Amino acid sequence: MMKLYDELAEWWPIMSDPSEYRKEALFFDRLLRKSSNPPPRTMLDLGSGSGINAFHLKAHFAMTLVDLSPQMLAVNRTVNPECEHLLGDIRTLRLGRTFDAVLVHDAVCHMTTESDLLAVMETAYFHCRPGGVALFVPDELRETFIPSTDHGGNDREDRAMRYVQWTSDPDPRDTAILVDFG
């Protein structure tokens, strides 16, 4: 597992402050409600990470949050204590229950083989109630990929951080991109 998701996990709320994701989360909410009848009330967030979207979506849904990293789930619990948190691999997870909506945000980007991606789609399908809706939100798509440089960070009372992010595709024939941080 990447260092960013284990020993540096506690830095996520500073690197990606949940307040910065309000518009994105509300867009997901509108999309899910528009695509489901009746409107969804329960949501499974596969690969929920630090809980940045759940921070806003929990006002609209009963949320179950799943992540592979115990450290990221620990951060998520501090951000979203009222949600259910489960440790699990989103490729193989089987909870034995269904949800009105399933969200796979940028965790889908960690599925770098077609078989991994298919496995996550099967997990979403398995957990989506009949008539429910699943939303996959990859950061990048092969067909529209553009190399980029980004930066960010935030200040807190006790610490601050800044980062630079470079996104590239060393081999456009495969299914992976490279993201470097400095």
pLDDT (tens digit per residue) in 95-132: 999 999 999 998 988 888 899 999 999 999 999 999 99
* Cβ-contact 70, 148 below 8 angstroms: no
pLDDT, residue 5, reads 85
- Dihedral sign for Cα 168, 170, 173, 175, please: negative
Q: Any idea where the domains of the chain sit in the sequence?
A: 3-136, 147-181
CATH superfamily label, 3-136: Vaccinia Virus protein VP39 (3.40.50.150)
Q: Report the distance separating Cα 156 and Cα 154, nearest Å.
A: 7
Residue 169 identity (one-letter amino acid): D
pLDDT, residue 120, reads 98
* Cβ-contact 100, 75 below 8 angstroms: no
Please list the ranges in the chain whose pLDDT falls under 70: 1
pLDDT, residue 126, reads 98
Residue 96 identity (one-letter amino acid): G
Adjacency order of strands within the sheet including 178-181:
148-155, 160-168, 178-181
What number of CA atoms fall less than 13 Å from residue 122's CA on the CB side?
Answer: 11
pLDDT, residue 1, reads 52
pLDDT, residue 4, reads 79
